[in-house]
Structure 1
Amino acid sequence: MIGSDLTRSDSICSDPIGSELQRYEFSQPRMGVLFRITLYAAGEAAANEAAQAAFKRIADLDATLTNYNAESELLRMCRSSGPGRPIAVGNDLMHVLSHAQSLSRETDGAFDVSIGPIAKLWRKARRRKELPDSERLTLERKRVGWQFIQLNECRRTVELARSDMLLDLGGIAKGFAADEALNVLKQHGIARAMVDGSGDIALGEPPPGRTAWKIGIAPLAAVGGKPSRFLLLANCAVATSGDAFQHVEVDGTRYSHIIDPKTGLGLTTSSSVTVVAPDCMSADSLASAVSVLGPKRGVRFVEQQRDKKTAVLVMTVATGKAKLVESKTFGLIRQQRANQPSD
């Protein structure tokens, strides 16, 4: 079981194809969070083999996309590239960067993976419970700008057109990893599965005898509170971006870990953004982008997308008052009180 936590439900379910499926749960820490896999398989051996392969795929992506390991492909590229120095990269890194750049263009930079230098300053600020030095922040902002990431997808190269740029894929990598893990499970014959990367959730076919997975949305005001809203979903993804656990309060102002790339400052309105999308990389990155755009602009942006399968719910708290804003598509899939037991 490669060090994974495994639990098996007592119940045995009959699948439409005639085989008996049991529920298995696995977890491993990856990408700085706990990844959980819930799947239905005909036996323990099949479940273990599929989960092991899925976690290996996540581990490989972690080694490629992380900015916490100096030897990751991402950070090696950042060190090696610069103006006039395109660097060849692997398929995974190119795929994630291509998606990120498309979203940056569409949101006019509300989503920007070049935010690395500023994100690094704010991580230190949260630990020290103080604001970043203003002069240092101004200096580091000169190293930021999605338009300076130049991709050549034919040659599979990346050129960072400003010196000393530092990319941070924290707002997109976990979603991609969840998608890839779910694909690996499918390749092993496991169709009924869910991969949860600490709120970035990729969903396959629903549990046996059910029409969907039941996903709870936690209330914004109560950290660790029980979900009060539920979604019934299958064969799609859902991701939530919020600052309930990562923020710093300085002189009475609450600064989120989510940074506006244009100002270099942490957001000061407490919010939680939940996005439902066809894939988890899209849901993950859109949740970050909508957080920066704000409720009205964010919902309008999602509603203008050609893909009508994407939906968003924004919960904010300002001056002690909670407010909900949702896209029209979210209203179609929302379920306030689900009768189906949690999965």
Structure 2
Amino acid sequence: MGTRFSIILYSRDALTAKRASSAAFACIGRLDAIMSDYRETSELTELCRAAHGQWVEVSDDLFRVLSISQRLAERSGGAFDVTIGPVVRLWRHARRAGRLPDSERLARSRDLVGYDKLRLDEKKRSVMLARPGMAIDLGGIAKGYAADRAIGVLEQFGIRRALVAAGGDIVASDPPPGAQGWVVALDQIQSPGGPVVSLLLRNRAVSTSGDREQFLEAGGVRYSHIVDPRTGLGVTGQSSVTVVARDCTTSDGLATAASVLGPESGVKLIDATEDAAGIFVRAAGEGAQVTESLRWKTVPKTRPKGDE
């Protein structure tokens, strides 16, 4: 899935901690072998090769993620769309080359995108892609799903106080002993001298989506690695979106969709999701423009000691 996972846990004994963490990392590795588009032998890659015009039965995990993705695609009006694969690959090459994708190749790739072209058969747990050349990219939801599954594995070993982090996606169960929550500092755009916002995470998940590290500047325009499936273009301008939700699958997917939709429509999507809250931060000159969802003020927060 192209990122590093880390686990912090509290256990009564070292043996249980070792067994639980080993099992959780094994679960993550298994899911990477299923859902990574970087692996030529992953189940996802093999599906994209085989499912053009025919039904292909897939694993429970892959079908579950695809089903969740399709529901989010409908709710977001296509701002979240896992069929974005062909376009994402072009933009990856473009960032490495330091120039915009070829317009004709981009147009051809864009024609292959559309969540209506991805067919799911729940009874047979099967998938079909409507057109040859289509490719699925789960980069906007797979890490969150894997983090959720890992925290579930830890709970099977009786580990109730744990945190699983996968890049900008974090899920936590009960907090450390004596603490109100896991302190998670947000990686956001800030005004000079502005305070670092930290959350107190407890039985919740948080995901931050942004372009601080992955972007392309061309013709005086900053293009994010996050691509709008509706246009085939990288989201422009420097911004970040943080979403808190019940689980990391939800927060990961919502953060991606909201990044594409922008503050106004993105906040509406977050507000329409039960128990979800979010904040948009956009670079504005030397400062930052902030847009909060209705429930953001209810999310427990603190400040690191250095900012008090």
1: CA distance, partners of 2:216 / 2:286 = 17
Contact residue 144 and residue 165 of structure 1 kept, 8 A: yes
Alignment correspondent of 1:74: 44
The letter of the residue matching 1:51 is S
**Structure 1 gap segments, 5+ residues each:** 1-30
Alignment correspondent of 1:270: 238
Contact residue 205 and residue 244 of structure 2 kept, 8 A: yes
Write out aligned runs for 1:1-343 (5 A): 31-83=1-53, 85-221=54-190, 228-305=196-273, 307=274, 309-335=275-301, 337=303
Contact residue 202 and residue 237 of structure 1 kept, 8 A: yes
2: CA distance, partners of 1:58 / 1:335 = 29
Task: Give the superposition deviation at 1:304.
Answer: 2.3
Structure 1 residues 247 and 340: CA distance shift in structure 2, 3 A: closer
1: CA distance, partners of 2:171 / 2:50 = 34
Contact residue 273 and residue 291 of structure 1 kept, 8 A: yes
The letter of the residue matching 1:106 is R
Identical aligned residues as a percent: 46
Contact residue 63 and residue 69 of structure 1 kept, 8 A: yes
The letter of the residue matching 1:265 is L
Which secondary structure does the structure 2 equivalent of 1:328 belong to?
coil
2: CA distance, partners of 1:194 / 1:36 = 8
Deviates more, 1:60-69 or 1:311-320: 311-320
Two-structure CA RMSD over aligned residues (Å):
2.0
Contact residue 182 and residue 195 of structure 1 kept, 8 A: yes
The letter of the residue matching 2:256 is S
Aligned length: 307
In the TM superposition, structure 1's runs of 4+ consecutive aligned residues that sit over 4 Å from their partners are: 338-341
Contact residue 100 and residue 218 of structure 2 kept, 8 A: yes
2: CA distance, partners of 1:282 / 1:111 = 12
Structure 1 residues 167 and 95: CA distance shift in structure 2, 3 A: same
Give the structure with higher Rg (CA): 1
2: CA distance, partners of 1:269 / 1:334 = 29
Task: Give the superposition deviation at 1:320.
Answer: 4.3
Contact residue 216 and residue 229 of structure 1 kept, 8 A: yes
2: CA distance, partners of 1:208 / 1:340 = 22
1: CA distance, partners of 2:105 / 2:168 = 33
Which secondary structure does the structure 1 equivalent of 2:85 belong to?
helix
Structure 1 residues 319 and 340: CA distance shift in structure 2, 3 A: closer
Structure 1 residues 127 and 201: CA distance shift in structure 2, 3 A: same
**Structure 2 gap segments, 5+ residues each:** none
Which secondary structure does the structure 2 equivalent of 1:276 belong to?
strand
1: CA distance, partners of 2:268 / 2:129 = 31
Structure 1 residues 43 and 322: CA distance shift in structure 2, 3 A: same
Structure 1 residues 226 and 32: CA distance shift in structure 2, 3 A: farther
